[in-house]
A and B are shown apart, each in its own frame.
Chain A
Amino acid sequence: MPKRTDIDSILIIGAGPIVIGQACEFDYSGAQACKALKQEGFRVILVNSNPATIMTDPEMADSVYIEPVNWRTIARIIEKERPAALLPTMGGQTALNTALDLAREGVLERFGVEMIGATKRSIDMAEDRELFRRAMTEIGLATPRARIAHSMEEALAVQAEIGYPTVIRPSFTLGGSGGGIAYNREEFETIVARGLDASPTNEVLLEESVLGWKEYEMEVVRDRNDNCIIVCSIENLDPMGVHTGDSITVAPAQTLTDKESQRLRDASIAVLRKIGVDTGGSNVQFAVNPDDGRVVVIEMNPRVSRSSALASKATGFPIAKIAAKLAVGYTLDELRNEITGGATPASFEPAIDYVVTKIPRFTFEKFPGSNTRLTTQMKSVGEAMAIGRTFQESVQKALRSLETGFDGFDEQLRQPLSEEAATQLAYELRWPGPTRLLYVADALRAGWSRAQVFEATGIDPWFLAQIEDLLREEGRLREEGFESLGAVRLRALKRKGFSDARIGALVDRDAAAVRGRRRKLGIHPVYKRVDTCAAEFATSTAYLYSTYEEECEADPTDRRKIVILGGGPNRIGQGIEFDYCCVHAALALREDGFETIMVNCNPETVSTDYDTSDRLYFEPLTFEDVMEIIEKEKPEGVIVQYGGQTPLKLSRAIAAAGGPIIGTTPDSIDVAEDRERFQKLVAQLKLKQPANATARNEEQAVQMAREVGFPLVVRPSYVLGGRAMEIVFNEDDLRQYITDAVKVSNSSPVLIDRFLDLAVEVDVDAIADGENVLIGGIMEHIEQAGVHSGDSSCSLPPNGLSAEVQEELRAQTRKLAKALNVVGLMNIQFAIQGGVIYILEVNPRASRTVPFVSKATGVPLAKIAARVMTGRSLLAQGHTEERIPAYYSVKESVFPFVKFPDADPILGPEMKSTGEVMGTGHSFGEAYAKAQAASGVVLPTRGLCFISVRDRDKPAAVELARMLIDRGFEIAATGGTAQVLLDSGIMCRRVNKVREGRPHVVDMIKNDEIALIVNTTEGKQAVRESRSIRREAVARRVTYYTTVAAGRATCDALDHLGDIAVNRLQDLHKELLA
């Protein structure tokens, strides 16, 4: 059946900001869907609040709306655009839920919009646990014993039937948010309460535990003709009990016989038919009892998912693109498999001849105090994928792809184990944390038997034996030493996936020594192609991975080519923004006629879509792996500026090895990052920096702190995302920090800066070509200095900076760009205190704000800068004028605090946000209101506002209280703040701090008496004391701000709630050109 002609326009809903459980895989799927549908001639309308996505580029859809993803906003867009159909399956759970809301609210019916790709009925059946169970029973499939509960009483009754441990799953939440496993009544009540609250329908599923069972996922695609294919089977190395997003997963399934695989295949297809997924991709999860093969269905997602992104990358089969085409009427046999150049149809099942391993990346260090044990609620923030010809090669490549400092199975504990270490080891095995796999290796090294490790972890003995074998090799190597590394031996080790660095560590040499030996012996990897068909058909697609085999299929061309190094796994501080930049570099340089070569290992991204670049190397971003590619391809240039800190860290080594790095030189980058060199430069240019010093031990630090003066910002050198950065207000705090920080950063010096309190912070993005400097945009932060720039909200153009100050910022930017010989992108962070401009830092590379600025101004900064790097001047490109919009764009950050109930949700110099949203409006208030709505903050319009601020914020608090009262709020405050307010003639209720006796403020939050909270603190003591306020606010979903500035902006927003319009991005950009 060919394409439908009865619909002409399609609305696609994106996933909104990056949050845990919903990351850039939905940019990948959404972007594929947009491209596919546009290609088919449909008018595509896209809504997504996340500006850092490729899908929200104005070229991706006919109409792009960077607007909040909620039904009310989308109803307005529908009213304006009148799409014929809505495709809700590309934007994760957010899009699915929003689509259900639109259906429920009658919007779709009112405007005659047809839901395609999924129906309300099928979404309901898949998502509603009870309906799903009943459906499974009807088709003869088992599910774990389970019942739904809507209250604690019901829950306790159900629990009594199914016993402990009990799995608690709230309905309709992202990444299992709010769920968990309870081993006793206390835990049970806590998790159920949290789950009931997290579920939009206030229901939780209580489930028989199948902990320790093997976990499998099947990626299924079905068309309207009932043709079904399994794109990929995925085996979770971590058995049931760990959320699949947090599990190490392997594709294809390793430990199933054909009979068992086919049984899961039949069941998966039966599930799709029953649920009624008529067109598109779905994911079905199973648990299999390792003792008798009993199979139970765990759940299914009637949409593309994180797993389908992984399956697409793992097989080369583009699920989202195909699913989009199926949704508009095609059948699988009518679509071609592009990776084989169309030689075969899309109606087949990929056969792969390699092993794929995905390992999640966690960021618990950002949330001190949070529970690091992995459960059914997802906690990871990113993932790395690796391809190898064997599991051993694949898993070792994945470990080094993670960039968490591992070169392979690095020892976590010193052998022989101390008693304490042995206890820790047993704990780490039984209660999985972020690095369990490495502890598994430690246990095997310490003499645990395979059976013991299996008993503790439930990891299939097949995987354990593979790891054991690697450890045998390690042991042998340690004994035989570096000199034993002849050609045969070294090649055998490389074939098992050992990195140069790991081999070096085992023989007390550095990676360079091993690399030298390897090169002398002529041992290099070959590159094999991912082709969906295990070489049965020829492929013209250069989707490559390295391995140590005989035949190399890389076949480099002799075209002019540029290698772009990607950002690796997402983490807090380095996420989708950098992938966006890499993709833009690839698109621009391809347009310019270069062959573009992408290197990355993050399966969630658009950059690792095999058709984003001419050639894709799915490889770890380590010096070893990258350099082999550079030597194979011999590119004209290598771009290291776009992938964040990951490639930047490699730049000096690549340059030293002869890699042709283009753009700003590694030396210039060093000037910007090296304190002393940079200080000299600033002095030379007669610019200002906050007073600062570098200390190498505690006493030195204290001494220097006295000279510089408190408060201070302290941090270890060379960091991204403000890791381990803190503001200290007194000497005690400083001493404590030094002890901790020196520990975390391995005796690297501690940097001390005067903290500019109550200063306004400003980001400037610019491009320089050696001659000219193009100012991309000036962004004024809404939160004052002290909150990490990645966490603060900002406004473009600035809302409160005078024209003179802005002009001065531009002038300083130009000066710095010239002095640093920047060629390409740069980002400068300024702080303005009392009219004086200070430079906080300069980053001669792509910054997190590049996509935001590009969306706000319509100037594709990353593309322009990529061209600059290849020698096309700004003048030649016609981009010399800064474009300053007449409308406002506000960026707001989104935080994962809900997932870390034990961590303090306070903002500071350490970055904690996972994603961002953007709001646009013709006033600052409107733009800010939209950004708040998009980030999920509900702005209260009346009620009681609780204000508790530190002393230096008190004057500002008075002003804020007045503004709030003017807008109909009542005010409550604790002692000091209340006194100041009352003294200023402001009516307010005085309430107890927690330590002042009950009822106190937390009681009031729990009783839903408080609508809005503004709470600022400083000093460790005060932060500790006020923590329960913020925690409870997160738990009860009370809108809260930890800066007065944000409170003020909120008042501004409240004035504009009535007149919010939806803006088509292309129209906004047109305004700029008019």
Chain B
Amino acid sequence: MTTPAVLALEDGTVFRGISVGARGNTTGEVVFNTAMTGYQEILTDPSYCRQIVTLTYPHVGNTGTTPEDLESSAIFAAGLVIRDLPVLHSNWRATESLGDFLIRSKVVAIAEIDTRMLTRRLRERGAQAGCIMTGENIDEADAIRAARKFPGLKGMDLAKVVSTRRNYQWNDGMIWRTDPRPPRPQNRLHVVAYDFGIKRNILRLLAEHGCRVTVVPAQTPSDQVLEMNPDGIFLSNGPGDPEPCDYAIRAIREYLQTDIPIFGICLGHQLLGLACGAKTLKMKFGHHGANHPVQELESGRVFISSQNHGFAVDESSLPGELRATHRSLFDGSLQGIAHTERPAFSFQGHPEASPGPHDMRPLFEHFIHLMINRLQSNSKARSSSKSQIAGT
């Protein structure tokens, strides 16, 4: 019948429940996410690497899973903690239940625990290391020890762990369009996207906006990228601490010497900040949800955003050439920055949503505009220099 499971936290708290995924043990940083939909997107978001994610909504698995909703090729979360895995999933697109998907992906998951109590604990004490163990005779002390052994994410470079090993092209758009306007013709703009743990919806949106995307590994040096002659450079989301990613920071500094537009999301945002001389810090329990209000400072408008980060750029450390563009209305933390001299900007939350609201999608438009502007001014410059030559 059901297999017991426990979740042990480094503070010694033990939750007893049942196993609803693969059998085995797992450790990671335990975080909670308050999004009420999108568990498949969350599990397959590479940013959750080494994190055990608790979903606060009690029923998880209602709509099963479908290959269409994958954000990467696999589940990256280290484990899943939920209140209830429903007896049946139901949705016209579903191809597999969440339970089967977890087992097939060899991911450990625990259900039937008081996830609200766990969430309150994490809120009060901050993100904690934890361990899920499944099986009949679990040694709870062992589970606590395992949790305590988890080194934490501070200083951990995970981007290069989850990144693609080789370059690839991406051309697929959205699974269904929600924008009533006709799609842009593709292949006009060439974007090189750094994969620090990139979510597919970013790629889908870039394609949707008319970009031809080349995805490159996290440690790709700048000269290789510049050789590709990109119209824009994209810095993806990803797991772990941005600080150790010196290779990326170095490359970004190179790009900032050029006039190529740069757009960063999440870890990419933190890396842009670091490259410009700002500092990053580890947050108490981070932002993980799909209901976070973010204010655009220039217009005062509020957007509901999807969030998933445990590190943040410290606004007080921003150098002169970076200005704050967005702030969280939950805690006032920095959510967006733009370079004052270069066409470079970034956002801490997830404008690609998936899961979450689409309010921040206009940032993709902005990236496109920067690339088009550059092309236009370059071609103007070329033609004016040509005409100068012709005139002499």
A positions within 8 Å CB-CB of B: 139-140, 225-227, 229-230, 252-263, 265-266, 290-293, 331-333, 344-345, 347-355, 389-391, 460-462, 465-466, 468-469, 528, 533-538, 549-551, 553
Q: How far is the CB of A474 from chain B (nearest CB, A)?
A: 15
Most buried by B among A390, A465, A466, A535: A535
Is residue B170 contacting chain A, with contact meaning CB distance below 8 A? no
Chain B residue numbers with a CB within 8 Å of A549 are: 114, 116-117
Q: Can you name 7 A-B residue pairings with CB atoms under 8 Å?
A: A258-B38, A258-B290, A259-B354, A331-B302, A353-B56, A355-B58, A549-B117
Q: How far is the CB of B60 from chain A (nearest CB, A)?
A: 11
**Do residues B293 and A258 form an inter-chain contact, with CB atoms below 8 A?**
no
Most buried by B among A226, A229, A462: A462
Chain A residue numbers with a CB within 8 Å of B58 are: 353-355, 389-390
Known: A255-B90, A259-B175, A461-B88. A551 touches B300 (CB 8 A): no
Chain B, range 132-182, C-beta contacts under 8 Å to A:
175-176, 178, 180
**Do residues A333 and B34 form an inter-chain contact, with CB atoms below 8 A?**
no
A139 and B38 CA atoms in complex are apart in Å by 26
Known: A351-B291, A462-B89. A390 touches B302 (CB 8 A): no
A351 and B293 CA atoms in complex are apart in Å by 12
Known: A262-B357, A348-B291, A535-B116. A293 touches B180 (CB 8 A): no
Q: Pick the contact of B92 from A140, A290, A345, A466 — CB < 8 Å? A: A290
Q: Pick the contact of A462 from B15, B88, B300 — CB < 8 Å? A: B88
**Do residues A255 and B91 form an inter-chain contact, with CB atoms below 8 A?**
yes
Q: Which residue of A lies closest to B119 (CB)?
A: A535
**Do residues B119 and A390 form an inter-chain contact, with CB atoms below 8 A?**
no
Chain B residue numbers with a CB within 8 Å of A469 are: 87
Chain B residue numbers with a CB within 8 Å of A553 are: 120
Q: Which residue of B lies closest to A350 (CB)?
A: B291
**Do residues A225 and B291 form an inter-chain contact, with CB atoms below 8 A?**
no
Chain B residue numbers with a CB within 8 Å of A460 are: 90
**Do residues A225 and B120 form an inter-chain contact, with CB atoms below 8 A?**
no
Q: How far is the CB of B85 from chain A (nearest CB, A)?
A: 11
**Do residues A258 and B56 form an inter-chain contact, with CB atoms below 8 A?**
no
Chain A residue numbers with a CB within 8 Å of B56 are: 351, 353, 534-536
Q: Which residue of A lies closest to B289 (CB)?
A: A351
Q: Mark B339-379, 1 if CB is under 8 A from A, else 0.
A: 00000000000000111111000000000000000000000
**Do residues B354 and A535 form an inter-chain contact, with CB atoms below 8 A?**
no
**Do residues B175 and A535 form an inter-chain contact, with CB atoms below 8 A?**
no
Chain A residue numbers with a CB within 8 Å of B114 are: 549-551
Q: How far is the CB of B331 from chain A (nearest CB, A)?
A: 9
Q: Which residue of B lies closest to A536 (CB)?
A: B34
Q: Which residue of B lies closest to A291 (CB)?
A: B92
Chain A residue numbers with a CB within 8 Å of B116 are: 353, 389, 528, 534-535, 549, 551
**8 pairs of A and B residues whose beta carbons are closest in the complex:** A258-B38, A140-B180, A465-B88, A551-B117, A258-B355, A462-B90, A534-B56, A351-B34
Is residue B62 contacting chain A, with contact meaning CB distance below 8 A? yes
Chain A residue numbers with a CB within 8 Å of B180 are: 139-140
Q: How far is the CB of A468 from chain B (nearest CB, A)?
A: 8
Is residue B295 contacting chain A, with contact meaning CB distance below 8 A? yes
Q: Which residue of A lies closest to B38 (CB)?
A: A258
Chain B, range 1-45, C-beta contacts under 8 Å to A:
15, 32, 34-38, 40-41
**Do residues A262 and B300 form an inter-chain contact, with CB atoms below 8 A?**
no
**Do residues B63 and A255 form an inter-chain contact, with CB atoms below 8 A?**
yes
**Do residues A256 and B293 form an inter-chain contact, with CB atoms below 8 A?**
no
A253 and B36 CA atoms in complex are apart in Å by 9
**Do residues B329 and A255 form an inter-chain contact, with CB atoms below 8 A?**
no
Q: Mark B52-86, 1 if CB is under 8 A from A, else 0.
A: 00001111001100101100000000000001101
Is residue B47 contacting chain A, with contact meaning CB distance below 8 A? no
Known: A257-B93, A536-B123, A551-B120. A351 touches B36 (CB 8 A): yes
Is residue B304 contacting chain A, with contact meaning CB distance below 8 A? yes
**Do residues A254 and B302 form an inter-chain contact, with CB atoms below 8 A?**
no
Q: How far is the CB of B295 from chain A (nearest CB, A)?
A: 6
A293 and B63 CA atoms in complex are apart in Å by 13
Summarize A's interface: helix, strand, loop or mixed: loop
**Do residues A266 and B358 form an inter-chain contact, with CB atoms below 8 A?**
yes
A924 and B91 CA atoms in complex are apart in Å by 63
A227 and B301 CA atoms in complex are apart in Å by 6
B positions within 8 Å CB-CB of A: 15, 32, 34-38, 40-41, 56-59, 62-63, 66, 68-69, 83-84, 86-93, 113-117, 119-120, 123, 175-176, 178, 180, 289-293, 295, 300-304, 329-330, 353-358
Chain A residue numbers with a CB within 8 Å of B178 are: 262-263, 266
**Do residues A254 and B300 form an inter-chain contact, with CB atoms below 8 A?**
no
Q: How far is the CB of B115 from chain A (nearest CB, A)?
A: 7
Q: Pick the contact of A355 from B37, B38, B59, B113 — CB < 8 Å? A: B59
Chain A residue numbers with a CB within 8 Å of B40 are: 257-258
A922 and B113 CA atoms in complex are apart in Å by 66
Q: Pick the contact of A333 from B59, B68, B295 — CB < 8 Å? A: B295
Q: How far is the CB of B127 from chain A (nearest CB, A)?
A: 13
Q: Pick the contact of B41 from A258, A350, A352 — CB < 8 Å? A: A258
Q: How far is the CB of B99 from chain A (nearest CB, A)?
A: 14
Q: How far is the CB of A108 from chain B (nearest CB, A)?
A: 31
Q: Pick the contact of B93 from A252, A293, A466 — CB < 8 Å? A: A293
Most buried by B among A257, A266, A291, A390: A257
A352 and B119 CA atoms in complex are apart in Å by 13
**Do residues A534 and B119 form an inter-chain contact, with CB atoms below 8 A?**
yes
Chain B residue numbers with a CB within 8 Å of A350 are: 291
Chain A residue numbers with a CB within 8 Å of B15 are: 550
Q: How far is the CB of A676 from chain B (nearest CB, A)?
A: 52
A143 and B180 CA atoms in complex are apart in Å by 15
**Do residues A348 and B36 form an inter-chain contact, with CB atoms below 8 A?**
no
A69 and B242 CA atoms in complex are apart in Å by 63
Q: Pick the contact of B87 from A351, A465, A551 — CB < 8 Å? A: A465
Q: Pick the contact of A536 from B37, B84, B176, B289 — CB < 8 Å? A: B289
**Do residues A254 and B34 form an inter-chain contact, with CB atoms below 8 A?**
no
A292 and B300 CA atoms in complex are apart in Å by 39
Chain A residue numbers with a CB within 8 Å of B120 are: 535, 551, 553
A353 and B37 CA atoms in complex are apart in Å by 12
**Do residues B356 and A258 form an inter-chain contact, with CB atoms below 8 A?**
yes
Q: Which residue of A lies closest to B90 (CB)?
A: A462
A290 and B41 CA atoms in complex are apart in Å by 22
Q: How far is the CB of A529 from chain B (nearest CB, A)?
A: 9
**Do residues B86 and A462 form an inter-chain contact, with CB atoms below 8 A?**
yes
A253 and B293 CA atoms in complex are apart in Å by 21
Q: How far is the CB of B327 from chain A (nearest CB, A)?
A: 11
Q: How far is the CB of B202 from chain A (nearest CB, A)?
A: 15
Q: Which residue of A lies closest to B329 (CB)?
A: A345
A226 and B56 CA atoms in complex are apart in Å by 29
Chain A residue numbers with a CB within 8 Å of B38 are: 257-258
Q: Which residue of B lies closest to A294 (CB)?
A: B92
Chain A residue numbers with a CB within 8 Å of B62 are: 254-255, 462
A469 and B86 CA atoms in complex are apart in Å by 10
Q: How far is the CB of B114 from chain A (nearest CB, A)?
A: 4
A257 and B15 CA atoms in complex are apart in Å by 28
Known: A354-B58, A462-B62. A227 touches B355 (CB 8 A): no
13 more A-B contacts (CB under 8 A) besides A345-B329, A347-B293, A352-B57? A140-B180, A225-B302, A253-B37, A257-B91, A258-B69, A258-B354, A262-B358, A263-B178, A266-B358, A461-B90, A462-B90, A536-B123, A549-B116
Q: Pick the contact of B69 from A259, A351, A535 — CB < 8 Å? A: A259
**Do residues A349 and B86 form an inter-chain contact, with CB atoms below 8 A?**
no
A386 and B120 CA atoms in complex are apart in Å by 23
Q: Pick the contact of A262 from B87, B91, B353 — CB < 8 Å? A: B353
Q: Which residue of A lies closest to B300 (CB)?
A: A225
Q: How far is the CB of A650 from chain B (nearest CB, A)?
A: 29
Chain B residue numbers with a CB within 8 Å of A229 are: 304
**Do residues B83 and A345 form an inter-chain contact, with CB atoms below 8 A?**
no
A331 and B300 CA atoms in complex are apart in Å by 10
Chain B residue numbers with a CB within 8 Å of A390 are: 58-59, 83-84
**Do residues A293 and B83 form an inter-chain contact, with CB atoms below 8 A?**
no
Chain B residue numbers with a CB within 8 Å of A352 are: 36, 57
